[in-house]
Amino acid sequence: QVQLVESGGGLVQPGGSLRLSCTVSGVALYYYSIGWFRQAPGKEREGVSCISSSDASTDYQDSVKGRFSIARDFAKNTVVLQMKSLKPEDTAIYYCAAGLYCSGPRGIVVADYEYWGQGTQVTVSS
């Protein structure tokens, strides 16, 4: 059974940094692409970043390019999302998910991911 658990969320001031982790169990990390999504109150869940299982290629939503980076740690079966220069509009519940594809012509899409974690809250506020 594939399970994903997020950690590392919290409260941070604008301009600060956070490091989110997604620990995967029940399957080796290289079987699936891993994506990070977020959902703010009253908004739809949106793709933030992903890393491909096949070649470790990455993709980012335009609003986070240059501020967020994604990486895999095979020894820990974990995917990390490093977030810098955080803005109040980054406030959301962040979810990680596992799927066959990182992204496509439509970008990083919720429907392409099969397994989901429970989410971790990120709040950017002074």
How many CA atoms lie less than 13 Å away from 12 in the CB half-sphere? Answer: 22
Q: State what percent of residues in the chain have pLDDT above 90.
A: 91
Distance CA 98, CA 101 (A): 9
| Average per-residue pLDDT for the chain | 96
Q: Which candidate, 34, 46, 43, 40, places its Cα nearest to that of 109? A: 46
Q: pLDDT tens, 43-99?
A: 999 999 999 998 899 999 999 999 999 999 999 999 999 999 999 999 999 999 999
